[in-house]
Amino acid sequence: MCVRLGSLAWWGIALVRNNFNPSDFRTWLFNKYSKTYAYNIFNYSRKYSKMISGDLNDLELLSPRIRNHAIKSLIVLSKYLGIHQQFKQKLSNFGIKAYRQDSFTSFLRILNTNNNGNDIVKWLKEVYPILNDNENIFLRFCLYSGLRKAEAITSFNRTIELHNKGLLNEYYDNNLNCLLHFKYPKDFIRKTKNCFITFYY
């Protein structure tokens, strides 16, 4: 993907680093973070890049959720540009901090959002008669494992591949009834939202 500096709102970065290439930044993100996280960081960085070299007061005009995403994205961008310490000091000077929910509050938010669990089970019951056996097995795997979509696809395919080679015991521990994702760090271990093991009976 070719991303031109002029076609995006990267002017704030251009003031900091004349040779900035958005395509290189995008590649760096996708090599470092999960696909979804990298995509979000890239888009928020693009939208709020002028704040890297400008006034940060506009952040206060954003909703708390958007402000958090913008701050985190600009922090990642500042690391890429090699100006992290300066940008960190700038955030401090403006009295700006990213809000971080504690894990229990995050858990309750997920649990209470639109009764997601009930909606998913209802949807599964509706599609079950329509899908073929392999598709139903995969959906049950997603439901019982709790893995995110990309992780579930990777894990499911690896399970099939290793089973066909007679090597499933390298990934699935029969004694613990557990998938050992940590054995494949490139696919499951990242800087955020790591997946180490999944108990699966």
pLDDT tens across 40-80, in order? 999 999 898 888 877 788 888 888 888 889 999 999 999 99
User: Is there a single domain that holds both residue 192 and residue 136?
Assistant: yes
- Residue 187 burial (CB < 10 Å; 0-12/13-18/19+)? middle
Residues 200, 136, single domain; the answer is: yes
In this structure, the answer to whether residues 151 and 85 fall within a common structural domain is no
Mean pLDDT of the chain: 81
Strands 172-173 and 178-180: antiparallel
Residues 86 and 149 in one domain: no
Q: Which of 80, 67, 95, 68 is nearest to 32 (CA)?
A: 80
Asked whether residue 73 is assigned to any structural domain, the reply reads: yes
Output the pLDDT for position 21: 84
User: Are residues 87 and 137 part of one domain?
Assistant: no
Question: Is residue 170 pLDDT above 80, yes or no?
Answer: yes
> Is position 167 within any domain?
yes
Residues 112-136: what's their mean pLDDT? 74
What values do phi and psi take at 83, rounded to 5?
-125, 30
Which residues pair with residue 65 across a beta bridge?
none
User: Is the pLDDT higher at 39 or at 143?
Assistant: 39
Q: Are residues 88 and 157 in the same domain?
A: no
Q: For residue 118, tell me if it sits in a domain.
A: no
Assigned domain for 27 exists? yes
Number of domains in the chain: 2
Domain termination residue (choose one: 66, 93, 120): 93
Cα–Cα distance for residue pair 55/41, rounded to 1 Å: 20
Final residue in a domain of this structure, among 76, 93, 110: 93
Whether 20 and 87 map to the same domain: the answer is: yes
Pick the most confident of 7-16, 131-140, 161-170.
161-170
What pLDDT does residue 129 have? 85
Q: Is residue 80 part of a domain?
A: yes
Q: Are residues 28 and 76 in the same domain?
A: yes
CB 180 within 8 Å of CB 195:
no
Domain end call among 93, 116, 148: 93
Show the domain range for 143. Answer: 131-201
Residue 89 and residue 135 in one domain = no
d(CA 162, CA 179): 12
Q: Is 123 part of any domain?
A: no
Q: Is 121 among the domain residues?
A: no
pLDDT (mean) for 137-152 = 86
Write down the pLDDT at residue 2: 42
Q: Is residue 79 part of a domain?
A: yes
Comparing 119 with 179, which gets the higher pLDDT?
Answer: 179
Q: What is the C-alpha to C-alpha distance for residues 198 and 136, in angstroms, rounded to an integer? A: 19
Indicate yes or no: pTM above 0.85: no
